[in-house]
Each structure stands twice: as structure tokens, then as C-alpha cells.
Amino acid sequence: MRIFSGIQPTGRKHLGNYIGAITQYVAGQDGGADCIYCVVDLHAITVDYDPQALRESTYDTAATLLAAGLDPERCVFLRQSDMYEHTELTWLLSSVTAFGDLNRMTQFKEKSGAQRELVSAGLFSYPVLMAADILVYRTDVVPVGDDQRQHLELARDIAIRFNTRFGDTLTVPEGRYPTVGARIMDLQFPERKMSTTGGSPQGTVLVLDEPDAIAKKFRSAVTDSGSDVRRAPDKPGISNLVDILAVATQSSPEEIEARFDGSGYGAFKQAVADAVIEYLAPVRERYHELRPDADGLERIFAQGAEKAREMAAPVMRDVRDAMGFRGVRAGQEVRARQ
């Protein structure tokens, strides 16, 4: 089995990223599968950005993932822009991607509405690049947060449409979603997901936040007018905190509800803060050891690209051949595992 997932280097990573994606990356290494994890920096240029900030954010993200437990000896860890195969396959897959499907993507509607000057074609075709990221490695399983479900379904549709037209060439991937904490919400606005770009600063818990900052954010978390610690549609703030504490303490939501029955919101929010501080402490400490060594991070990216190219080369050969092109780029020597 082969697992792929990517994470954008935009903004500092928050608790939702950590629970919804990063912890799955780390767990996947120990499951006996081929794991490919990618810092998807090409996705980050679909909206207005600063080039130097992108470079620094890419290193920040790499150091965070490594600090969380990714091991380049047990997985393939790469930077998307190091792999021309991703962009070439994006163009080839665009020939079997319906304009109407892209036009229905919820994230395109949200992000395009927020752009003041330019809504780029790259933002519109972003899901095709995401599909190429996945399909270029014949990925079987994609661990993602719930907010990426629509994009993954499109990737599946693109693979199916390609195979129907050109023959059985691409693997149709399956999504893997966390059962608890699939969608961590903003602590101040619990009806919308936690985000470093669209969320509130006080409602977004960053992986690298200091303990005092984490405690302050949870103490001010929005709850409701009641006092019961239980999940319910009319209690989005408390429901979110229950899910967070369940993940941080490796408990079930039902166990959390039973444990804090009758305790009141003050004690409950303090318990969530304490658990999250302990949960994130090892990552924060390890990050500060890794981040200053940019040359070391570059060596890890280079090693990952070499491994990834060996996996992608036979797929690109088969795709090009199926579509009527020469299977291997003229003038290039491609080494691939057979």
C-alpha cells in the first residue's frame, strides 16, 4: 500500500493541522506502507504571496513535520517544487477534468471571493495539481482533513475518467479521515474551522505557541450559556473542546463527557489547555533544534526528491504512452524501480 499527503507551507501550523494531518503522517510510517509526504509549495502561489516568506515558511513547515516525528529514513519527504513530474501531470490531467467540476469547488469560491485584485487561473485549477500530486505516485490512501474531502473526490473522478478514456493506468485513491478531530474549529468562532489565514488570532492555537499563550486562548474560548460538558448541535464551542481533549488525551469523546460531568466550564477549559500544552511540548522543543539548520533541511528535501522520482518515473512513462506521447522524455535518462 502507498500513502500520500501534502501540506501547504502557508502560515504557521495550528492545532487543526496537527490533529487532522500531521499525526496521521507520523502514524502512517509505522504501518508497513510506502509513505510519501510533501510540502506543497506550488499550491501556495495561487494567491498573493511574498517569495522570501514562502522560502522561510517552507523550512518552518519541514522542521515542524520532522519535529512531530516524520523520519526521512522511514518515509519519502519532499518539496513539491523539486518535482517537475507534478506539474507535467497536472497539464495532462487537465484534458480529462471538467470545467464544471472545478467551478463547483467550495474552496475556490471562498478564496476567489477574498481576493481583492487577481483571481488567478492557478487558484481555479488548484484541484488538478492536487490530483496530480496524488496520482503521480499511484497512491492507494490519502490521509486528509475533512475540509479536503471534495478535492479528494475530484482526484478520484479524474483518475476514473482517465482510465476510462486511456486504459487502466492510474490508481484510484481512497481517503482516510480521522474519526475524532477531523475538523478542529476556531476557539472564538466554533462554527468555522481553525485557520491561520481566515481564523481569529485568539481562536487559533499554533503548534509552536508558548504554554502561556495556549492557556490564555483556551481560557477565553467561546462556550455557551449552559454548564454541561457534552456534545450537541447547539453547543459547537463545547463540542469542539471535547473533541480536542479527546485527541490530546487519547480518550473517546464519551469518556471526556463522563469525566467532566458536573464540573463546569472553567475547570473543563483549564483541563483542555493543560492537556494541549503537554501534547504539543515535544514538537515545539524539537522544532527549535531543527529549524536553524537550513542546509540540513535542504539535504533532506534532496534525498526525498530522489526517492520520489524513482516512484513517479514509471507512472509518467505509462501516462505519456497511454496519451500518445513518447513514454520517456526525449534526451532524458530516467531511472525507475521496476
DSSP state letter for 30? G
pLDDT at 178: 64
Q: Which three cell numbers stand for residue 55?
A: 522560502
Q: What is the mean pLDDT of the chain?
A: 90
d(CA 316, CA 307): 15
What is the domain partition of the chain in residue ranges?
A: 2-178+293-322, 201-290
Whether pLDDT at 335 is above 60: no
pLDDT at 145: 67
The residue to which cell 477574498 is assigned: 114
Whether pLDDT at 45 is above 60: yes
Whether pLDDT at 261 is above 80: yes
* Entry pTM: 0.84
pLDDT at 228: 92
Instruction: List pLDDT tens digits, range 3-38.
Output: 998 988 976 899 998 988 888 788 888 877 899 999
What is the three-state SS of 85-143?
A: HHHHHHHHHHHHCCHHHHHCCHHHHHHHHHCCCCCCHHHHHHHHHHHHHHHCCCCCEEE
pLDDT at 104: 86
The residue to which cell 532524458 is assigned: 332
Average pLDDT over residues 55-83: 96
Q: Which three cell numbers stand for residue 37?
A: 509526504
pLDDT at 331: 45
Average pLDDT over residues 138-153: 85
Contacts of 196 (CB under 8 A, 6+ apart): 10, 11, 12, 13, 14, 204, 206
- How close are the terminal C-alpha atoms of the chain, in Å? 16
Instruction: Give the torsion sign (CA, 239, 243, 19, 218).
Output: positive
Q: Which three cell numbers stand for residue 70?
A: 516524520
Contacts of 84 (CB under 8 A, 6+ apart): none
Contacts of 302 (CB under 8 A, 6+ apart): 82
d(CA 240, CA 303): 39
Average pLDDT over residues 182-208: 90
Q: Which amino acid is at 224?
A: D
pLDDT at 260: 95
Instruction: List pLDDT tens digits, range 245-257.
Output: 999 999 999 999 9
Whether pLDDT at 336 is above 50: no
Whether pLDDT at 330 is above 60: no
The residue to which cell 502507498 is assigned: 2
Average pLDDT over residues 104-116: 70
Whether pLDDT at 202 is above 90: yes
CB 152 within 8 A of CB 175: yes
Instruction: List pLDDT tens digits, range 272-321.
Output: 999 999 999 999 999 999 999 999 999 999 999 999 999 999 999 999 99
* Whether CATH 1.20.140.10 fits 201-290: no
d(CA 83, CA 305): 7
2-178+293-322 fold: Rossmann fold (3.40.50)
Please report, for residues 126, 241, 279, the alpha-carbon distance to residue 312 in angstroms, rounded to integers and kept in the order given: 20, 41, 36
d(CA 277, CA 270): 11
pLDDT at 23: 86
Q: How many CB atoms lie within 10 A of CB 265?
A: 18
pLDDT at 337: 43
Please tell me the total number of residues recorded for the chain in this structure. 338
Whether pLDDT at 185 is above 50: yes
- The pLDDT > 90 percentage for the chain reads 70
pLDDT at 199: 82
- Give burial (CB, 10 Å; 0-12/13-18/19+) of 146: middle
Whether pLDDT at 79 is above 90: yes
CB 314 within 8 A of CB 338: yes
pLDDT band at 113 (very low <50, low <70, confident <90, very high): low
| DSSP per residue, 159-200 | HHHHHHHH-S-S---EEE--SSSSSPBPSS-TTSB--TTTS-
| Phi and psi at residue 143, to the nearest 5° | -80, 120
Whether pLDDT at 328 is above 80: no
Mean pLDDT lowest among 25-34, 70-79, 175-184, 230-239 = 175-184
Q: Which three cell numbers stand for residue 302?
A: 534532496
Q: Which amino acid is at 186?
A: D
Q: Which of 278, 279, 257, 277 is nearest to 268 (CA)?
A: 257
pLDDT at 226: 87
